[in-house]
């Protein structure tokens, strides 16, 4: 029996076999396209180059893909994104740098992505919990975040049959690294634990309040929520599994519990090799894992499915580091077949690229990926 797009995603989230393999592009902050990749795709498909697409994330130079592209690939989900805070909008420093509401400076090289380059706790040798007390935190209640959210969610939910994905902010690992410095915060975990934990608590409190408010506002029209917090690297975990369990897991649990109080499934994103933490992530309460970075250590899709397929939905999986940018269309096709074979049995798989489609990825490879997924995902 033919399912609607939303039914298809919900079937997979409930570990039921869908009528065909569900597909994603652009429903989540890490499953979309950069502006340049989108521009190339429009040209390749003969679509008009105007108007400019809506921005998904300014930081990662990504856009919400045109409906024409999403329909062509028959994508099953659509994004719902919070607004910007009224009280503390981005402060522009130059065309290539701005400061966000956390006091984090984002800068980009010419034509590139923004990355965090400075933050309020960057230059302190040994920041303390008192420093946290003094800090002017973002206001979770800022009305700018929620303006029009209910209406946008309702429209998506009632006027389309797509699954509605609420995109939330990053978790404590990322946010702490933004405000304190990537390496500095990792060092704090070992040598300034009180500060590291205090900072995480503030971040999680703000996150939980924003999530509560967003889901109270729009929850009726939301099918699932997505957020990320990278704990993996190419070669293994970012930190000792015991350290994750001791310090980060309880905070991740607080976040997941908040979403679960609203009865929504969770799509959690962590790049890199996270195999060793999958049982913990399941315990925390996530339903689906993105992006399944297949080129990272230990991210063998067949083993992941065999060991965790009963409890976990896989979302992503198409090799973004080699095959999409550098492979031939034939290699893309083989990659799609392989991941479907490894992950899709009995439902439990939503296919998309491992990360946002980057500028150098040939549009032909992206089209091949979705066409092959349609062909083999029946």
Give the footprint of other proteins on this chain (CB under 8 A): 107-113, 115, 117, 182-183, 186-187, 189-191, 233-240, 243, 295, 320-322, 325-326, 358-361
CB of 114 to other proteins, least distance (A): 8
CB of 358 to other proteins, least distance (A): 5
Burial group, residue 371, by CB count within 10 angstroms (0-12, 13-18, 19+): middle
- The CB density around residue 5, as the number of other CB atoms within 10 Å, is 18
CB of 179 to other proteins, least distance (A): 16
Residue placing its CB nearer to other proteins in the complex, 3 or 115? 115
Residue placing its CB nearer to other proteins in the complex, 14 or 246? 246
Kindly list the distances between the CA atom of residue 166 and the CA atoms of 213, 252, 286, in Å, as whole numbers in the listed order. 12, 18, 15
C-alpha–C-alpha distance, residues 104 and 123, integer Å: 12
CB of 354 to other proteins, least distance (A): 11
CB of 356 to other proteins, least distance (A): 11
Cα of 114 vs its chain's centroid, Å? 16
C-alpha–C-alpha distance, residues 362 and 228, integer Å: 27
CB 221 within 8 A of CB 228: no
Residue placing its CB nearer to other proteins in the complex, 220 or 360? 360
The two structure tokens encoding residue 336: 């799609």
Kindly list the distances between the CA atom of residue 73 and the CA atoms of 76, 179, 198, 275, in Å, as whole numbers in the listed order. 9, 38, 45, 30
Q: What are 58's strand-pairing partners? A: none
C-alpha triplet 306, 310, 312: angle, nearest 5°: 95
Is 340 in a helix, a strand, or coil? helix
CB of 236 to other proteins, least distance (A): 5
The two structure tokens encoding residue 10: 């919900």
Residue placing its CB nearer to other proteins in the complex, 47 or 107? 107
Residue placing its CB nearer to other proteins in the complex, 265 or 327? 327
Residue placing its CB nearer to other proteins in the complex, 58 or 147? 58
Residue placing its CB nearer to other proteins in the complex, 81 or 292? 292
CB of 237 to other proteins, least distance (A): 6
CB of 112 to other proteins, least distance (A): 5
The two structure tokens encoding residue 277: 């933490």
Residue placing its CB nearer to other proteins in the complex, 141 or 326? 326
Cα of 18 vs its chain's centroid, Å? 23
């Amino acid at each position: 029996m033919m399912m609607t797009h939303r039914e298809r995603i919900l079937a997979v989230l409930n570990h039921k076999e869908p009528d065909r393999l569900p597909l994603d592009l652009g429903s989540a902050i890490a499953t979309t396209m950069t502006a340049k990749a989108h521009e190339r795709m429009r040209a390749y498909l003969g679509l008009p180059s105007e108007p400019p697409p809506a921005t998904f994330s300014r930081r990662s130079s990504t856009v919400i893909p045109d409906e024409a592209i999403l329909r062509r690939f028959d994508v099953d989900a659509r994004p719902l994104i919070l607004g910007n805070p009224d009280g503390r909008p981005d402060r522009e420093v130059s065309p290539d740098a701005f400061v966000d509401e956390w006091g984090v400076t984002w800068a980009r090289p010419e034509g590139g992505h923004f990355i965090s380059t400075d933050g309020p706790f960057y230059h302190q040798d040994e920041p303390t919990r008192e420093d946290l007390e003094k800090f002017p935190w973002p206001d979770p209640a800022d009305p700018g975040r929620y303006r029009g959210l209910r209406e946008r969610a309702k429209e998506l939910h009632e006027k389309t049959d797509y699954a509605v994905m609420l995109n939330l902010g990053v978790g404590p690992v990322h946010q702490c690294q933004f405000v304190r410095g990537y390496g500095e915060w990792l060092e704090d975990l070992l040598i300034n634990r009180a500060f590291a934990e205090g900072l995480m608590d503030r971040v999680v409190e703000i996150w939980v309040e924003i999530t509560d408010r967003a889901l109270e506002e729009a929850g009726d029209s939301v099918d699932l929520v997505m957020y990320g917090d990278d704990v993996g690297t190419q070669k293994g975990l970012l930190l000792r599994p015991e350290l994750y369990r001791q310090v980060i897991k309880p905070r991740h649990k607080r976040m997941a519990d908040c979403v679960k109080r609203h009865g929504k499934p969770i799509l959690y994103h962590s790049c890199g090799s996270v195999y060793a933490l999958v049982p913990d992530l399941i315990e925390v309460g996530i339903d689906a894992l993105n992006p399944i970075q297949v080129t990272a250590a230990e991210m063998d899709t067949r083993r992941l499915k065999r060991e965790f397929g009963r409890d976990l939905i896989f979302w992503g999986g198409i090799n973004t580091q080699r095959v999409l940018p550098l492979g031939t269309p034939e290699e893309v096709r083989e990659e799609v077949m392989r991941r479907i074979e490894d992950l899709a049995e009995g439902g439990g798989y939503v296919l998309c690229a491992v990360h946002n489609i980057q500028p150098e990825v040939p549009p032909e490879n992206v089209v091949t990926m979705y066409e092959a997924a349609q062909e083999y995902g029946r």
